[in-house]
Structure 1
């Protein structure tokens, strides 16, 4: 080859590079081929021929050209890297690894080669080597999206989710419009039970890649965990539409429909999905324990109670606890098992609660026999009384409003308080408790892992403020994690659990025969049994006038769960006889719409125009909501399960609340508050008495104003310490001393 040929080859090479940069691969290839003929010793020509072949998908030819280049220039790290890419795409991963390692031997900081080496190791199922390769790449370029994303995904797939999340967040920051980066981050956060944080990323993934079913599946699950059932159902239906084989989304759709009150469709979906053996027990339990949120009639309430009892019978009869596989399936079922909505049926549910508790006890005795007794005695350590608190609602929430001050009042000189918080949100309320505690653990890990943590603390007493609201707390409550185990009344019904020793209730709430309603030993703390937080002062509630239509407006503050079918006609009679409008703060959801249709039918049956006699009010910030309560003519309480926090809201604003003479604590909350304030005339004996009292009060402004003045004068008693903090501390002292004997 003469000098002229070499020069001509260079010219062809330069023209080819220009064409390749312009995206004209075929034209570039022609120039490179001419250059190779003119100067076959030019290594760059063979490298670029290999790149063209690689881009066109001719992998074998690409590898051949790269090898030719390396014979001419064995120090070309880039060529080794490209050879490795071609070999990897052909599935020749062992050879690809050798090529990438050769590239890195020449250029240690070659991030792309290290990244590609990681991909090959992943393909060979050698995750440890893949991780090392990705970390090598990141040492050279900490913000290389491909390496950051690959390492984050690898850690996520290998169950190292907590380590994966920071990398997945960085990948998303580097490419915020990347659907996969958003979606995998959402999935990882979900696995850590951080559904609130995951929402933004799942929404982005479903928007960027709307035809990818798994992003809709993640979004649907997040919405369900946030109790946003309408969008959850829509997202899960979309996921199934895109991927009809997605059995997990079918299960989640069944759960979402059940929580939304669409129990018939939910049961059908859950039972149909039971062909999946691993999930069959969980789905069977869920289908048998489902209860509606809104009932069409009292007859339906009775039918559902019978169905629930039969469901418990079936679960008990088919419960298999003999093999490790059966135990694991049952444990999976127990973690989601709940009959939370049973409490909102205006019936004596004690027998059903006992039966449910016995089922959980039986399952957990087999699953975790080593956690059925303590191997230490209360107070054996000789120091302060060790008290544990397990709660998911230590943020601004009704549970926190009720019990935070009671828990904070435990004297740190006497009590060493340890908290396990299962919520995602942390706010001022959470931080107050965390600052006061000897230890504060925010965890959403497996319940048995939490149980082991709690036992390792060797507590003297363990308190559950709201057991019954989260299925995992019933699971924990069935175990013996402390010598003394007690519950507060955040969900005011018995657990039915053998290992729950005490139910700490309120003397003002309980009837004379109250012990009959609890498997636990009932402890009546003074007054309300706690020290609730006083609501803020109400703002002007003038906005309510627009919804009154010139008529008196009464408000029913409870959500749809507490609004029983028989109460509809009572309210219709009040409206008919008084001319008042009845207002509800009901969100525009499918389940709320079912309640709306039911009550509108009841009002129409009494000859009323629902559009004139009913008012459905928008959600407002708390102070505006309180303003409406203060401005309303009268507050109408529900039978069976009365107002708790809502009645505290009303009384703090001076609003009279007409309530019922309840038979169990959950139906006597407002009644107890009125008794503590010394306010008479607002407790009805029966339906007729309720209607008569409501009509009389609506028509008697002077009487209402007198009641307002009396309530404002005496409502402080509801929020002041009347000895309850001392009684709570004394209970913990006495109970742990007795347990230590």
Structure 2
């Protein structure tokens, strides 16, 4: 028999349910005002109704009334904490107001109530990732994929997470899965494009981004990543055009501001570049890459010596700002810092031509500190003891196993180190070419070209447990600098592919040239300096013959160095040299970036005017050409003029291989003494100047004296075996490695 009380309660529940149902109908129709009234009426009937509190909280949230939403959603969760829907929505609300820790805890309770819900797994993964808990986030994204076949969001979010970790192959797979589910999603195309860029698949990336832009014109993210692609390919004018379009669409987007800022700086528009980097930092104060770029970006071409001094002081102060502001307390902070040093280097600093030891040590310790925070098992102070084996393992790591100066200079070390004594490996950190890789393999070298990402490179080095690790060019490539900040071998060495101290606490030796180092060269390195005999290299003589054009006409001087190597201090000496010959020509090679060439031409034009020398009439800016074309430029060259402060290496060796004299003014640092070493090996001290004025005098005398020049050419050819096919370095390098491995 039903009592009156029971009947009353039953009727009340019917009324309550009816009010809630009507409220839900109005809520779905978008009539939030009426929905609010209905849910409030429901609450007046039953204040502890979990559903009424829950739905009223959602209405307030949709209306933007956050405080009221929190009051009713938290009350619903308090009344009925075992409701999966109430728990999940409360977790989403906490996430929306930035309470990541609270939302994670509540999401985990929701998953206990609904264990196989892919949406809950995905939402929890999103919160974990935002809190820097990347490994756990990945676990939940993969659970969402497992229990949510055909769901787009988990694949897309997994791709984003793997991209942020630099795991590009995994990100590629995830984005392609997401794209198969939702083919026309521009966000997937944006991120898939950047993954393809990182993997070096430039053509595929360009095709994807351009095709998607045709379907969705004016998409800022697509234009931004197309700009990044063009910048990676050195197409800086196209990059700037894309990024300026992206900025016009999305004016305050930090990524676009950062990428445009970096591109403008690469175009030598340093003022505008820094302005955009400042805007990127202002838009996102936690944007580590933009902060570093703002403080540590340098020009490629300086207007004058005063600008070098000014920029150097600015860079030092900027480094202090970067060091003072770095935070490595959370996984997210570590990841941001790691991404930064995986993209940016201080490559341009040594081109200022100053002694860099102290600031390199600060910079190197910073890189090592970040790398160690990300990979603490590889701290530079680790006392490693590789396993006992028949032959010690020596690994050469480089991003230049391709047609490049670094490969030309150091491939003999890798190929000629005796394989009966050492197991020799070559780890490619960046681009590589099949021809050069096959050359190494033919010499018995184990070549690793499958390690595309930083993580895979670290895993490979960890697996190899080398006795010796030699970096050929620390400072030229971002991933190389990250690896150099860690320890993988008891002995870690830097070669002079980028001839400046690394400043890294984990680099033990700097392998240099006895003929190129100044007497007190040890004072320039944080590493122990090892002076290998001679030039320290076995440079392969170019297999080329160039027909010599008659040299009885007006002299042709050739400075074949990259334009950013040529210091403003040398400008007036070029002008003085040309002023002495009314018809002589001076030849340079254009930079592949027209903005750099224009800046260089503008600077020299201004200086030449003071000496009444017409730049337009007397200077030939040669387009960049093939290696054969480069050799042919020497056919009518009277002599090669070496650059001050940073002497030519590969280019001077190739000129000397053709018998063309090189006139040099040695600097105080090893990188300004390459030609000195070559000319010392050839016993040609008359081509070595002791001042800028003396450099001009030697060049003038040599250009005017055909007989002397002919004799110099003859001596170069007769003594060339001292430069090419010379293995003076071999025994010392072998002994150094043997001593350490024993």
Match of 1:680 among 685, 692, 697: 685
1:314 aligns with 321
Distance 1:384 1:258, change over 3 A: same
SS in 2 for 1:444: coil
8 Å CA contact 1:540, 1:624 repeated in 2: no
Match of 1:459 among 439, 462, 466: 466
Select between 186-195 and 477-486 the one with higher mean Cα deviation: 186-195
Match of 1:341 among 340, 348, 352: 348
Deviation digits for residues 553-585 of structure 1, max 9, x if unmatched? 211101111111121111000000123111111
8 Å CA contact 1:541, 1:631 repeated in 2: yes
SS in 2 for 1:503: strand
Matched, 1:721 2:726: yes
Match of 2:338 among 331, 339, 349: 331
Matched, 1:607 2:615: no
Deviation digits for residues 509-553 of structure 1, max 9, x if unmatched? 1111110111100001111112223223144577xx9xx997422
Match of 2:405 among 384, 395, 398: 398
- Whole-angstrom distance in 1 between the partners of 2:683 and 2:668: 20
2:508 aligns with 501
8 Å CA contact 1:642, 1:669 repeated in 2: yes
Matched, 1:438 2:432: no
2:585 aligns with 581
2:414 aligns with 407
2:18 aligns with none
1:559 aligns with 562
8 Å CA contact 2:155, 2:177 repeated in 1: no
8 Å CA contact 2:541, 2:725 repeated in 1: no
8 Å CA contact 2:268, 2:599 repeated in 1: no
- Whole-angstrom distance in 2 between the partners of 1:161 and 1:360: 22
Matched, 1:515 2:522: yes
Distance 1:648 1:202, change over 3 A: farther
- Whole-angstrom distance in 1 between the partners of 2:481 and 2:279: 27
- Whole-angstrom distance in 2 between the partners of 1:566 and 1:373: 39
Matched, 1:424 2:424: no
1:382 aligns with 389
Displacement of 1:289 in angstroms is 1.1
SS in 2 for 1:487: strand
Distance 1:714 1:309, change over 3 A: same
Displacement of 1:283 in angstroms is 1.7
Matched, 1:489 2:496: yes
8 Å CA contact 1:394, 1:421 repeated in 2: yes
SS in 1 for 2:740: helix
Distance 1:426 1:681, change over 3 A: same
Deviation digits for residues 598-645 of structure 1, max 9, x if unmatched? 101111111112111111112222112112113211111111001101
Match of 1:534 among 519, 528, 541: 541
2:287 aligns with 280
Distance 1:467 1:210, change over 3 A: same
- Whole-angstrom distance in 2 between the partners of 1:198 and 1:151: 23
- Whole-angstrom distance in 2 between the partners of 1:196 and 1:710: 49
Count residues in correspondence. 602
Displacement of 1:356 in angstroms is 1.7
Select between 571-580 and 372-381 the one with higher mean Cα deviation: 372-381
Matched, 1:734 2:742: no
Match of 2:573 among 563, 570, 582: 570
8 Å CA contact 2:228, 2:239 repeated in 1: yes
8 Å CA contact 2:484, 2:504 repeated in 1: yes
Displacement of 1:708 in angstroms is 1.3
Select between 581-590 and 159-168 the one with higher mean Cα deviation: 159-168
Q: Map of 1:641-680 to 2, 5 A cutoff?
A: 641-680=646-685
SS in 2 for 1:681: helix
Distance 1:218 1:510, change over 3 A: same
- Whole-angstrom distance in 1 between the partners of 2:440 and 2:149: 40
1:371 aligns with 378
1:304 aligns with 311
8 Å CA contact 1:421, 1:443 repeated in 2: yes
Displacement of 1:157 in angstroms is 5.9
TM-score norm. by structure 2 comes to 0.73
8 Å CA contact 1:434, 1:440 repeated in 2: no
Q: Map of 1:197-208 to 2, 5 A cutoff?
A: 198-199=205-206, 201-202=208-209
Match of 1:238 among 223, 245, 263: 245
8 Å CA contact 1:361, 1:478 repeated in 2: yes
1:18 aligns with none
- Whole-angstrom distance in 1 between the partners of 2:686 and 2:212: 58
- Whole-angstrom distance in 1 between the partners of 2:203 and 2:607: 38
1:192 aligns with 199
- Whole-angstrom distance in 2 between the partners of 1:204 and 1:430: 34
Distance 1:439 1:594, change over 3 A: closer
Distance 1:243 1:576, change over 3 A: same
- Whole-angstrom distance in 2 between the partners of 1:687 and 1:728: 36
Matched, 1:264 2:271: yes
Match of 1:214 among 221, 226, 229: 221
- Whole-angstrom distance in 1 between the partners of 2:210 and 2:417: 43
8 Å CA contact 2:121, 2:143 repeated in 1: no
Is there any run of 5+ residues in structure 2 with no aligned partner, and where? 1-117, 124-140
8 Å CA contact 2:254, 2:279 repeated in 1: no
8 Å CA contact 2:301, 2:600 repeated in 1: yes
Displacement of 1:469 in angstroms is 0.7
- Whole-angstrom distance in 2 between the partners of 1:589 and 1:601: 18
SS in 1 for 2:623: coil
SS in 1 for 2:393: strand
Matched, 1:705 2:710: yes
- Whole-angstrom distance in 2 between the partners of 1:191 and 1:667: 34
Match of 1:631 among 616, 632, 636: 636
Distance 1:368 1:164, change over 3 A: closer
8 Å CA contact 2:257, 2:279 repeated in 1: no
2:63 aligns with none
- Whole-angstrom distance in 1 between the partners of 2:332 and 2:717: 60
8 Å CA contact 2:473, 2:494 repeated in 1: yes
Deviation digits for residues 441-474 of structure 1, max 9, x if unmatched? 4323135x53343123211111100011113322
- Whole-angstrom distance in 1 between the partners of 2:333 and 2:215: 41
8 Å CA contact 1:538, 1:630 repeated in 2: no
Select between 191-200 and 707-716 the one with higher mean Cα deviation: 191-200
1:361 aligns with 368
SS in 2 for 1:615: strand
Displacement of 1:716 in angstroms is 2.7
8 Å CA contact 1:396, 1:427 repeated in 2: no
2:66 aligns with none
Distance 1:706 1:410, change over 3 A: same
Deviation digits for residues 485-529 of structure 1, max 9, x if unmatched? 001100000011111100000111111111011110000111111
Distance 1:340 1:409, change over 3 A: same
Q: Map of 1:95-114 to 2, 5 A cutoff?
A: none
1:479 aligns with 486
